[in-house]
Structure 1
Amino acid sequence: MSERMSVVGATKGGTPVQQLRLTVLGGFDLHVDDEPVRVPLAVQRMLALLAVRNRPQSRCDVASTLWMDTTQARATANLRGALWKLGPWRSELIGCDGDRMWLAPRIEVDLTQVVARARRLIGPEPGLRTDDTALEGLEDELLPGWDDEWLAAEREALHQLRVHGLDSLCTRLVEGGRGAEAVCAGQAAVAADPLRESAQRALIAAHLAEGNVSEAWRQYEIYRQLLWESLGLRPSPQLVSLVAVAQP
């Protein structure tokens, strides 16, 4: 796709743009004042890389990461082409300083917000903020369907962070007496990683906090069978002790 982005300058119908929002969780989307923007694939990949890494990158690194199956000269030319396709939007979306480039700070990125929320949840800050209890984002995969090699490590890092965040959210909700919400968070953690014992333990504890002993025991049995069939392992003594006193 050789054309530039199908939007106009830094204004929309003569009105200055108020908001730029980039989505990389659950899929790629770029919105300007809540309206979707049509973005060429090369531009999508460049913006996604800068959003995911969330720090200044050298042009050489960006080019070689996005076009690793070609020569450095060809990769650099491809990057120049992607920047050209931004047209008058380049200064709105990309910051540059010599050989360094980054995503413009005014762009709201869903990944940045979710990472900050997950880190708060697993950190020492007491209590929960209003937006901390939302599961949105914590359940979403990074750019599903994309097969870029550089994404593999980034996906795994995000997976570990968001499951830790869901575990902690579930525990914090139990401690706050919010059992139903805790169960939802625990179910999301288990769905993200069914073999992860900390996720199973958080969900079982949420069921017990609500007084649903049968649900807690049923979840334990599901996990015990899954763990044995998948890995030939048994639940830890800590998990066994958690459900032992509640066995029907």
Structure 2
Amino acid sequence: MEPTAHAELSVLGRISCRSGGRPLLLAPRGERLLAYLALQRTPVRRDQVYGALWGDSSDARAASNLRSTLWRLPRTEAGPLVEVAEGHVGLCPGITVDLWRLEGEDVEECEQVLLAGDLLPGWDDDWVSVERERYRQLRLHALEELCAARRSAARFADALRLGLVAVQTEPLRETAHRQVIEVHLAEGNAGEALRQYDAFRRLLHAELGLPPSPAMRRLVDTVLDASAAV
């Protein structure tokens, strides 16, 4: 049987940790340790933690920093947030992480996670940058998939919100713009569809000197043909 969650850690948008609905106060070092362990997903060796978080320090100094950080971490009624065992450090089994939800659940259940924002925005650590790009791609695909599902269910406002988040995340991503155009067309807003198409066409030409793909053009061909016939 899976352990009952006793704390929820968020690394999407501003980092935060809550237990029983209440926020836990985290010092900057505590935030970094929790974020690092969340991105690793499984317990890691002590020396790996030393190198990632205190790479410029000696092993002795890094070990002291880790002990101090662990001591200052808040505890929940169910126990600590981090466990250390057999030379490894990891989040306790009762901790849930919002990032993990998108990786382990059906996309239909993850709308709020997808809208939460980027992974640890403003953090420039190498171990964050690699995961941020991986999450960005995962998020874009999930946003488009959920946008299409909401459109098929005639939930046009929800679909449009998801599609526009994908466009904002990656303005040159044609598949994101196509999802938005398809929502406008499904809702009967031909003018909005043409406006979205023209905005993307201009952006793509300005940034890359390229036209939209034939697949993109086919989406609005019927509307363009109707406009020309008037």
Contact 1:167 1:185 in 2 (8 A): yes
Alignment of 1:49-198 (within 5 A): 49-86=36-73, 92-117=80-105, 120-121=106-107, 128=108, 131-132=109-110, 134-198=111-175
Name the CA shift for 1:88/1:23 in 2 (closer, same or farther; >3 Å): closer
CA RMSD of aligned residues (A): 2.3
Deviates more, 1:86-95 or 1:207-216: 86-95
Question: How much has 1:143 moved relative to structure 2?
Answer: 1.6
Aligned residue in 2 for 1:235: 212
* C-alpha contact 1:135 1:185 (8 A) present in aligned 2: no
Query: CA separation in 2, counterparts of 1:54 and 1:163?
Result: 21
Q: Which has the higher helix share?
A: 2
Task: For 1:91 and 1:202, locate their aligned partners in 2 and report how far apart those are by CA, in whole Å.
Answer: 45
- What is the TM-score normalised by the length of structure 2? 0.86
Partner AA of 1:198 in structure 2 = T
Cα deviation for residue 229 of structure 1 reads 0.8
Q: Which amino acid aligns with 2:171?
A: P
For 1:116 and 1:149, the matched residues in 2 are separated by: 24
Over the matched positions of the two proteins, sequence identity in percent amounts to: 39
When residues 32 and 87 of structure 1 are mapped into structure 2, their CA distance, relative to the original with a 3 A threshold, is closer
Equivalent AA in structure 1 for residue 41 of structure 2: N
- Please say if residues 18 and 33 of structure 1, whose CA atoms lie closer than 8 Å, have aligned partners that are also in contact: no
Cα distance change of structure 1 residues 18 and 139 upon mapping to structure 2, 3 Å threshold: closer
String of CA shifts for 1:159-206, please: whole Å, max 9, x gaps: 111111001111112222322321121111111111101101111111
Please give the secondary structure, in 2, of the residue aligned with 1:143. Answer: coil
CA distance in 2, matches of 1:157, 1:214: 35
Shift of 1:101: 1.9
Corresponding residue for 1:26? 13
Q: Is the 8 A contact 2:74 2:81 kept in 1?
A: no
**Count of aligned pairs:** 221
Check the 8 A contact 2:151/2:159 in 1, yes or no.
yes
Give a deviation string over 1:24-72, Cα, whole Å, max 9, x none: 1111112222222222211111111111221121111111011223334
Given the two structures, how large is their TM-score scaled by the length of structure 1? Answer: 0.81
Do the aligned residues in 1 keep the contact of 2:82 with 2:89 (CA within 8 Å)?
yes
Provide the C-alpha distance between the structure 2 equivalents of 1:103 and 1:212, rounded to a whole number of angstroms.
49
Matched-pair contact (CA < 8 Å) for 1:43–1:85: yes
User: Structure 1's 72 and 230: CA in aligned 2 closer, same or farther, altered over 3 A?
Assistant: farther
In structure 2, what is the Cα distance between the partners aligned to 1:67 and 1:232?
45
Ranges in structure 2 where 5+ consecutive residues have no aligned partner: none
Measure how far apart 1:219 and its partner are: 0.2
